[in-house]
Amino acid sequence: MSEDHTHSDIRFMFGFFLGGIIGALTIFFLGTKEGKKTGKILEEKGRDVLDAASDKVEDLRKKGVEIIEEGNEVKEKFIEELKEKKNEIADQAVEKLDDTLAKIETIQEEGLQKTTELRKRLFKNLPPRRK
């Protein structure tokens, strides 16, 4: 319990100290000529800093927009190249498949011819095959 009491005493002292500083600054800035001049100077500096920060933010926003636009252009080019490659690969696959099917048909025809020749040689007395 004494720790809680010490902890709240420290808080109170900190708050009291902070309140005194804020009060002294308020009296200085509002109650004296030098304080008013200093306040005006600080206000002007603050506005300058705020204006500079606003300019930087605007510059960064513009650069961000430019980067996004460039990224979109790169994306579009990439998508177009992918479409071209896809079509190219599809055409090559169709060609190879067509060639393969043509070879299969040729092999089938040759097999049918060989079978017919073999049938004629080996089975001369059999009736012709029905189709």
Tens of pLDDT along 12-70?
888 888 888 888 877 777 777 777 787 788 888 889 999 999 999 999 999 999 999 99
Which range marks the domain in which residue 107 is found? Answer: 32-122
pTM of this structure? 0.44
pLDDT digits (tens, 9 = 90+) for 83-104: 999 999 999 999 999 999 999 9
Number of domains in the chain: 1
Name the DSSP class of 124.
Answer: T
In a domain, 83, yes or no: yes
How many whole angstroms separate alpha carbon 114 and alpha carbon 125? 18
In a domain, 38, yes or no: yes
